[in-house]
Copies of this chain bind each other. A is one copy, B any other.
Amino acid sequence: MKIAIDAMGGDFAPRSIVEGAILAAREHGVPVVLVGEEKTIRQEAAMVSGSDSLPLTFVHASEAVGMDESPLTAIRKKKDSSIKVAFDLLKKGEVSAVVSAGNSGAVLATAVFVLEKLTGVDRPAIGTIFPTLKGSTLLLDAGANVDCKPFHLVQFALMGDAYAKYILKKEKPIVGLLSNGEEESKGNELIRETNAILKRSSIGYVGPVEGRDIFNGRADVVICDGFVGNAALKICEGLAEAIGAMI
């Protein structure tokens, strides 16, 4: 299974990305395709000793999308960006997955543009795995869709269920809907309507869960809209940093 890596995306690209790709190839034996400004990334790779014996290949892309660039502008104007070239490789079946630490909006938009969506999926979601006391919890959407309708959240629940089953290998995943209390009377309008639909679904839906349940293993998958999910993620980063600074 070959993996394409966007060598130009991320705050410390390309150096840290190339170094990380080499570590992955060395430790896991994964064939890695580094996509980006070929001369630069070959030079970066050459600086890491022993990299020439690893299953690394290089594919040239003449452009890179900046962290603050608009996703739509990137798609329209940078037709040879490392993100676009990486997804083209996936589309052609030359790689099995794309990894990018770059502009997440551009990655998402390019993925939809190049690969299109599965039937029944109106919007892609960003899934984030939180480490917990009992293993891991998948939270989605972590930021792709800030304004959602109930049917979007229902689709996220189905996608999260499938991800937990086939990627996290949980036989019968427990799916929860993030709310401000476990009672069905709680939640905002979006959550109450989504709950009413999910209750009738065939997935292992446990009902509304609370923010603290992300960490205690009560659910394998926690569903929320991208605004709340992004806030959740960044609040955790902020709190963990603050605790780290205090202890």
A127 within 8 A of B: no
A11 within 8 A of B: no
- Shortest Cβ distance from A132 into chain B, in angstroms? 7
Complex Cα gap A179–B230 (Å): 8
A151 within 8 A of B: no
A227 partner, pick from B188, B243, B246, beta carbons under 8 A = B188
A235 partner residues in chain B, CB cutoff 8 A? 211-212, 214, 232, 235-236
A interface, by DSSP: helix, strand, loop or mixed? Answer: helix
A128 within 8 A of B: no
A215 partner residues in chain B, CB cutoff 8 A? 238-239, 241-242
How many monomers of this protein are in the complex? 2
Residues of A in contact, count (CB < 8 Å): 45
A146 within 8 A of B: yes
A180 partner, pick from B227, B240, B247, beta carbons under 8 A = B227
A236 partner residues in chain B, CB cutoff 8 A? 211, 235, 239
Report if A238-B216 is in contact (Cβ < 8 Å); known contacts: A146-B187, A180-B231.
yes
- Shortest Cβ distance from A148 into chain B, in angstroms? 9
The reply to whether B180 and A242 form a contact with Cβ atoms under 8 Å apart is no
0/1 per residue, A172-201, Cβ < 8 Å to B? 000000111101001111010000000000
The reply to whether B241 and A212 form a contact with Cβ atoms under 8 Å apart is yes
The reply to whether B211 and A146 form a contact with Cβ atoms under 8 Å apart is no
Report if A228-B230 is in contact (Cβ < 8 Å); known contacts: A212-B238, A238-B216.
no
